[in-house]
Amino acid sequence: MEYAKLNDFVIVSKDSDFHQRSLLYGHPPKFIFLRIGNSPTSKIVQILRDNFNIINQFADTQQESILVLA
């Protein structure tokens, strides 16, 4: 978490602990929460590809700290 914060990374995870931390502390680091349950890697890749433009906009904005994708 500290490495991501110091290096301006965006964390992508299905783990709700990251989601709670992001709500509590904000950013950095920014967090993309994949609310998809148990899914094959191919579905995760497809969701990320389908939302490429939204993810880029999210990474560039200063106001938002969390992006939820389903």
What sign does the CA torsion over 38, 41, 43, 47 have? positive
Could you list the residue range(s) of the whole structural domain that residue 38 is in?
2-69
Q: What is the pLDDT of residue 23?
A: 76
Q: What is the pLDDT of residue 29?
A: 86
C-alpha angle with apex 64: 48 to 33, nearest 5 degrees? Answer: 35
Q: What is the pTM of this model?
A: 0.83
Q: What is the pLDDT of residue 60?
A: 92
Q: What is the pLDDT of residue 7?
A: 85
Written as tens digits, the pLDDT of the chain (70 aa) is: 788 878 888 889 888 887 787 778 777 788 999 999 899 999 999 999 999 999 999 999 988 888 999 9
Strands of the chain (E only): list them: 10-13, 30-34, 66-69
Please tell me the total count of domains within the chain. Answer: 1
